[in-house]
Structure 1
Amino acid sequence: MIKKILVSQPKPTSEKSPYYDIASRFGVELIFRPFIKVEGMDAREFRTQKVNILDHTAVVFTSRHAIDHFFTLAKEMRITIPEDMKYFCVTETIALYIQKYVQYRKRKVFFGNTGHINDLLPAMVKHKTEKYLVPMSDVHNDSIANLLDSKKLQHTECVMYKTVSNDFTEEEVKNFDYDMLIFFSPSGIESLTKNFPNFNQGDIAIGTFGPATAKAVQDAGLRLDLEAPSEKFPSMTGALQHYLLMNED
């Protein structure tokens, strides 16, 4: 029976987060503890990639981290982002986060519904004359680049932030007694195997968000119990609620 769940993300800042509804409805304890942490790249490091932000007319955001580090680097480099810059985001939540930095205008912000980059492609193809910039973590593969190539879109990938393991303390290792672990990136799985080299999954359920994270679980020889997003459950909270409902005693 699932009673204690570790969610490998920072604790939600809003009391209206669906996670709190889940905790109340199912009587589960949710612990928010990232397995990874993101460190920004400074302007000097970024310049070694020889990428000019202003050579591009659109930006593709796959996470809020990407948004934070894109605008932080632009500010550090004293670059004024043009008002007509277009933004393509994998979810509406990420799209709305742009408001933290620029005025939100629907005519220049586009988003998908599933969290998959494929879902954004139709909108990007409609704007095939744009020059797309794709900010990424240092931990990434070529899947996005290959996808954009397949549609003959002009694009440049660049690293704007680093993903590193958020190591567990001895106390945390000692008290690692969860019934379920939820991961949002392959780096989280790497951190799990690094911090717990003798990890024995047993009855511990593992849930993931995104196909790359699901593959990382399987590649690590672990059992995947819950995978999101799906057509029916585009969010992790929706998928988790359904999973708990199906596994109630």
Structure 2
Amino acid sequence: LQKYIVYRKRKIFFGQTGKVEDLAVVIGKHPKEKYLIPVSDIHKEDLISLLEAKKISYTKAVMYRTVSNDFEDNEKFDYDMLVFFSPSGISSLLKNFPNFEQKDIKIGCFGPTTAKAIKDAGLRLDMEAPTPEAPSITAALEIYLKKQQSEKG
């Protein structure tokens, strides 16, 4: 943010790691400030509940909406792997394909809430990130592909 926003009279606070706990420490040092919290229409309440617990003045601003991309009736669905980054992706899949059968399609995800949504939908989770071995989806995919390669050979 600081590279693209001219500060003038505004103060921009950010954490070092990008995690809510880190941001909470910075916000805790400036309790009298008023905060604008940009969120999606579907968001976790962890930061909001933290601000309310510390009695911090804030305004929640919905800056973007999560919208599912509808498939046309004639579109082919021939994927080897589907990777989801939010529970709304699972909802979109089931909305677009109510009779979806996983069969040989591999499913991967990023984040514990997305993993829970996959399991709750009765689907098989083949690849998950972040984990201690795979902190990113790229690392998880690399580990998964190496594992598949070793099982074949």
**What TM-score, normalized by structure 1, do the two folds share?**
0.50
Displacement of 1:241: 1.0
Q: Is the 8 A contact 2:111 2:129 kept in 1?
A: yes
Equivalence for 2:65: 162
Figure out how many residues of one structure are paired with residues of the other and give that number.
145
Equivalence for 2:114: 213
- Return the alpha-carbon distance in structure 2 between the equivalents of residues 211 and 147 of structure 1: 20
Unaligned runs of 5+ in 1: 1-58, 60-70, 72-79, 89-109
- Return the alpha-carbon distance in structure 2 between the equivalents of residues 171 and 118 of structure 1: 46
| 1:224 pairs with 2:125 | yes
| 1:112 pairs with 2:17 | yes
Higher relative contact order, chain-length normalized (CA < 8 Å, sep 6+): 1
Displacement of 1:197: 0.4
Which one has the bigger strand percentage? 1
Structure 2 counterparts to residues 17-36 of structure 1, below 5 A: none
Equivalence for 1:105: none
Structure 2 counterparts to residues 1-249 of structure 1, below 5 A: 82=8, 84-88=10-14, 110-112=15-17, 116-118=19-21, 120-125=23-28, 127-129=29-31, 130-150=33-53, 152=54, 154=56, 155-172=58-75, 175-248=76-149, 249=152
Displacement of 1:233: 2.5
Displacement of 1:123: 4.2
Deviation string 1:34-92 (CA, Å, 9 cap, x unpaired) is: xxxxxxxxxxxxxxxxxxxxxxxxx9xxxxxxxxxxx9xxxxxxxx864642143xxxx
RMSD: 2.7
Quickly say closer, same or farther: Cα 1:231–1:144, change in 2 above 3 A.
farther
Displacement of 1:140: 2.5
- Return the alpha-carbon distance in structure 2 between the equivalents of residues 134 and 119 of structure 1: 15
| Amino acid paired to 1:112 | T
| Amino acid paired to 2:43 | H
Deviation string 1:144-174 (CA, Å, 9 cap, x unpaired) is: 3124445x162332212211111112232xx
Taking every aligned residue pair, what percent have the same amino acid on both sides?
52
- Return the alpha-carbon distance in structure 1 between the equivalents of residues 22 and 128 of structure 2: 18
Q: Is the 8 A contact 1:138 1:161 kept in 2?
A: yes
Which one has the bigger helix percentage? 1
Deviation string 1:102-134 (CA, Å, 9 cap, x unpaired) is: xxxxxxxx3426xx5345444444x34243322
**What TM-score, normalized by structure 2, do the two folds share?**
0.76
Q: Is the 8 A contact 1:185 1:209 kept in 2?
A: yes
Equivalence for 1:62: none
Displacement of 1:212: 2.3
